[in-house]
Structure 1
Amino acid sequence: MTLTNTAPPAAARSWLTPRDPARATLALIAITAIIRVGLGVLMDYGNGESYYLATARDLHLSYFDQPPLFLWIGWAMVHLTGSDDPAIIRLPFIALFAGTTWVLFTLTRRLFSAEAGFHAALLLNISAVFTISVGGWFQPDGPLMLFWLLTAWILARLLLEPAEGARAWGWWLLAGLCLGLTLLSKYHAVFLIAGAGLFVLTRAEQRRWLLHPAPYAALMLALLIASPVLVWNAQNDWISFAFQGGRSVESVGIRPEWLLRSVIGQMTWLLPWVWLPMIWVFVRALARGPGTPRDWFLVCLAVGPVAFFTVVALWAPLGFHFHWQAPGYLMLFPLLGRLAADGLDRRPRLAKTWLTGSVAVTALVIVVLGSHIATNWIARVVPLDKDPTLEALEWRALRDDLRAEGLLERPNTFAAAVHWVEGGKVDSAVGGALPVVVLSNDPRNLAFTLDLTRAEGWDMLLMGAGRRLKDPTARFAQSFDSLERIDTYTLRRGGDVVVTDIQAWLGRGFSTRHEIRFDGADPDSYFGDGWGAFSPDAKGRAIAAPQATLRIDVEPRVGYGRLDVRARSVSGQQTLTVTWRGRPVGRLVLPDDGAAVALEATLPGVRRVGHHQVDLTLIPERPGVVVETVVLEPVRTGSP
């Protein structure tokens, strides 16, 4: 077959039609890497990054909500450089994305043309989620995208340009190696396996691989490389798989507005001028089906994450995780690059306007946001009720203040937050000088930084925004001998005070094995839903709903054995059912004379790792029950 040279004549060339697409791609990589390094200096960690850095200070086989590869990289950078500065920690991830851009170019060149490869790389680097988040932040997506693409490159070599005999074995084992590293990066790798399987099943000439041992050997090699994830999960009740899997099956009913939010969010993250033509080439390739093998190969690898996380958003509360579809969109950039290359040949004015405008607008967005993050100028021009860029404002500026107070050199002291997001912020304030824990029902990775059963008698530096801490003296009174407020700090950006309510408290004499006792005089922060109004003179507290909940903070490694509940009825004889984490543990029969009755029950001893908050629910037969006391005693002979 004779290929027609469609390259424009030298006089008509521009930066969009380079003479040497490979060299132009390398220049693109260099320029964008320099920009990302600059942004790394200007921008502090976002919420996710600071949380991941707090996690990465301790080396583990794997971690609660992500596989370990990117956290191993973060751990290595902290220990090799002695720095936790974002400009330093992000460097490997900027380098990883440089590799991602180059592999995308070579994959697209192999499938279509060098010109298409350059434009695929260009469009990747003007897509917000890729050029900013994936390309420059300390997140699992950095290694994920590189090893995903490397695996796809090898699969394209195997499935579209078949090799026989020993050569096929070599390529398959190399695919297994890269797939294993993808599995070590993020659980999304399962979609890569499914996509390759879909391509093999839908192309008759590829089904021979179903009977060939090499693909299965590659899978075994990948699982061996990813075995730290399996070992860690086996040691921790498979909690990571349960957490991530549960997010997609959790349902609150069909919510069309969530689906719409997901679609709009994906378009925003990719930027509309990239997402809309990308959806066009995606739908067109889907419609053509397996008859166009190169297009179909890309579609098979893309459809899993794009379709799954979009459809699941119809019922699952995925929030604003619009980047979860990103590995699928990554596989559509070769198709988009071909569209751009063909457009420059057939409709050059329209294509140049699209590409030039996209680059210009993306650059403008980056300049505006980057300069605002550095100087806070937008807030001076247009007052903001809520500035989402404040997430990229760490508490590192408080480190000197805490050190001056002598809080970072205290022996037998840990730092704490009450929310996993603020756990990362607290870590940035203490800078690794103290272990950081999260005292809530959702500590995530930070449930594994310190075994609190070994911290009996320690002191605690508690930090958090006032809106989250609320009343720490009441909430933690039973866990410490004393709790005193140290100070309230502010944070500045560009000379402006932008955060005003970061509180620091010092708790002395921590204990996980405290007796938990409620007598109705406890403040609202101890109570969940369904309780009547608080009165300091009342003997007990009324249940004012079909059921009432006590949310009790307990260390998950500490067992609680005996439960005593004392209650009375003011509306005649009735029963009161008591449940512990949803499991019935006893029932009281309350007499009609209003006398108080006590229940003594033994609690189940097994709880999942990481649950620092337990629900004790009391369900009356009808209104009119007053709960006088609840006493919860720890097991004194050791943790379960």
Structure 2
Amino acid sequence: MRHQSPSSWAVICVCIAAVVHFALGFSIEFSVDEAHYALYAQHLAWSYFDHPPLVGWIQWPLVTLTSSEGLIRLIPELLWILSCYLVYQVTLEVHHLIQGRNAGYLTSALPSPNTCGLMAVLAVIAAPIPHVLAIGLLPDTLLIPLSLGLMWMALRWLIKDHFTLADWVLTGVLLGLAGLSKYTAAFTAIALLFVFISAPRKVWISQAGFWFAALIALAFITPVLYWNYVNDWISFKYQIAHGAGSSWLWRRLAAYIGVQILVYGPLLVLGAFLFLKNCLQTTKLALLSLLGFFVIPFAIFTGLSGGGGLPHWTSPAWFCLAPFAGIGLAKAWTAQQHRLIRFLFIFQLALCFIGFGFVLSGGINSDLVKSNPIADLYGWKLAGEKAAQLSKANKASGIAVQNWTLGSRAAWYARPTPVFVLDDRQDQFDLWFGKLPKGANILLVNWSGMSFSPPIRSKNGFEHCAPLESLEIKRLGQSLSTFDFSLCSNWQD
């Protein structure tokens, strides 16, 4: 590594990871969330039932041109590369902040800023779950670079202690785009406000630029507010209920913390600990306020996890922690503390490559394994095309499934055939396709990975369902799942 600069090695490592992402992106079908958000692009609207619209808007140009999963996945890949670049740059700015405030007291013991930036990027590359967000576009994939951008603006404020009008405009645009990405961007906005409040002088509150930035952010999210207003605020109601989860349990909280450490990697945790131990000696208030970009969202999601939560919700927070972790790891590395860092890096990369291997092979189908989650990534394209053909041949009103997670892939791969979700839960499919009309005949699709009995009842359900065909999905010689197609008649609601 002596023959290349740290910045060159950062670029090389990001490029290697990008090549792996491209290979996976062209090899597997859409996941449930990817298909759902690709349908956003196909059905453009001011907002949507479960998320703000940017995740659909940003895909619209490519979705109108191609249906190739690999090409559409260029968007999350570019966002991941941008996120890595911002992690590197924010690390340099944090280093600059410490250097400026400590004037030789601490910086003499710190490694070069480029070395710290490299370590921060390597910690991100070695984290398993960010690779999922690099391949599949989720709202979090958008929120990560936007959160890092706002953190960068917060650093500029702490270093310069003032903003130009251009700085305020950029801050307002970043806040607005974050609000269009995901509702949890509010936590990032709180972290930014906390940085401003931590400043000794609160001159920002009397500056026209601050209020202009707030107006720009509000203007950006106006489509979301308008759409919710005309739709009885259904998106906000859903998110509040979704975030609260079910009954709160301590074991869920403990499991969530354990999963977080596993999927984001102990390397980030170690680096953050080393930073707090070795680098947080002066300028505490400024650095602690910046740590709010991690602490605020992570604490909220972890607190709610007792009722249920998904591991990728905290991904913007972990990316904002990476610059601090990079400085802590670089300082320990230059102090010849190589063994633990090297072990954790290799261990996490091994986990990543094992995961890549499972995805490409189709996972493991065995009596010892309760379910094979990788099976969910194969077969939906064939099943969707088959369902569209059978629906047309039997003059059905469309396709029906019994859970929304089955509906996303069915609607994407069988488009433009309408897809109806037969449950009592209101969701985006009700807005796209409406309710299944009474008396309708429909093609019912049942997937073995989430199997349901046909809804045949006297007062509500179908009068009769007749099996038509089955489709077995295989990968490298092993059977992954089976799709069953039935023609159901006379829907009674």
Distance 1:399 1:466, change over 3 A: closer
Cα distance in 2 for residues equivalent to 1:88 and 1:246: 35
Matched, 1:447 2:430: yes
| Partner deviation per Cα, 1:365-405 (whole Å, 9 max, x = no partner) | 2332322332347558x9533222223234112245445x5
Cα distance in 1 for residues equivalent to 2:311 and 2:148: 20
Distance 1:343 1:286, change over 3 A: closer
Greater Cα offset, 255-264 or 370-379: 370-379
Cα distance in 1 for residues equivalent to 2:213 and 2:35: 35
1:114-513 matches, within 5 Å, as: 114-130=114-130, 132-163=131-162, 168-205=164-201, 207-249=202-244, 252-253=247-248, 255-272=249-266, 274-281=267-274, 284=277, 291-314=283-306, 316-318=307-309, 321-347=310-336, 350-351=337-338, 353-376=339-362, 378-379=364-365, 384-402=369-387, 405-408=389-392, 413-430=397-414, 432-452=415-435, 459-465=441-447, 470-475=452-457, 478=460, 483-500=465-482, 502-508=483-489
Cα distance in 1 for residues equivalent to 2:23 and 2:449: 33
Q: Determine if contact 2:116/2:330 at 8 Å carries over to the other structure.
A: yes
Q: CA deviation at 1:330?
A: 1.5
Report the residue type matching 2:295 in the other structure: V
Distance 1:325 1:284, change over 3 A: farther
Q: What secondary structure sits across from 1:187 in the alignment?
A: coil
User: TM-score, normalization: structure 1?
Assistant: 0.68
| Identical positions, percent | 22
Q: What secondary structure sits across from 2:467 in the alignment?
A: strand
Q: What secondary structure sits across from 2:469 in the alignment?
A: strand
Residue 108 of structure 2 corresponds to which residue in structure 1? none
| Partner deviation per Cα, 1:463-484 (whole Å, 9 max, x = no partner) | 1236856442514875667543
Cα distance in 2 for residues equivalent to 1:233 and 1:252: 28
User: Whose radius of gyration is greater, 1 or 2?
Assistant: 1
User: TM-score, normalization: structure 2?
Assistant: 0.87
Q: What secondary structure sits across from 1:332 in the alignment?
A: helix
Q: CA deviation at 1:58?
A: 1.2
Q: Determine if contact 1:420/1:442 at 8 Å carries over to the other structure.
A: no
Q: CA deviation at 1:180?
A: 0.8
Cα distance in 2 for residues equivalent to 1:233 and 1:282: 43
Q: What secondary structure sits across from 2:183 in the alignment?
A: coil
Distance 1:265 1:110, change over 3 A: same
Q: What secondary structure sits across from 1:42 in the alignment?
A: coil
Q: Determine if contact 2:243/2:304 at 8 Å carries over to the other structure.
A: yes
Q: Determine if contact 2:39/2:56 at 8 Å carries over to the other structure.
A: no
Q: CA deviation at 1:442?
A: 2.8
Q: What secondary structure sits across from 2:33 in the alignment?
A: helix
Cα distance in 1 for residues equivalent to 2:55 and 2:296: 23
Residue 75 of structure 1 corresponds to which residue in structure 2? 60
Q: Determine if contact 1:233/1:239 at 8 Å carries over to the other structure.
A: yes
Greater fraction strand? 1
Matched, 1:95 2:83: no
- Larger relative contact order (CA 8 Å, sep ≥ 6): 2
Distance 1:470 1:93, change over 3 A: closer
Q: What secondary structure sits across from 1:331 in the alignment?
A: helix
Q: Determine if contact 1:43/1:392 at 8 Å carries over to the other structure.
A: yes
| RMSD after superposition | 2.9
Greater fraction helix? 2
Question: What 5-or-longer segments of structure 1 have no aligned partner?
Answer: 1-13, 515-553, 555-640
Report the residue type matching 2:466 in the other structure: E
Cα distance in 2 for residues equivalent to 1:48 and 1:499: 19
Q: CA deviation at 1:419?
A: 0.7
Q: CA deviation at 1:263?
A: 0.6
Distance 1:44 1:286, change over 3 A: farther
Cα distance in 2 for residues equivalent to 1:210 and 1:409: 66
Distance 1:447 1:159, change over 3 A: farther
Residue 609 of structure 1 corresponds to which residue in structure 2? none
Give runs of ≥4 in structure 1 deviating > 6 Å.
285-288, 409-412
Cα distance in 1 for residues equivalent to 2:268 and 2:119: 15
Q: CA deviation at 1:54?
A: 4.0
Q: CA deviation at 1:308?
A: 0.7
| Partner deviation per Cα, 1:223-242 (whole Å, 9 max, x = no partner) | 11122211111111111111
Q: CA deviation at 1:322?
A: 1.8
Q: Determine if contact 1:55/1:445 at 8 Å carries over to the other structure.
A: no
Question: What 5-or-longer segments of structure 2 have no aligned partner?
Answer: 96-112
Cα distance in 1 for residues equivalent to 2:238 and 2:455: 31
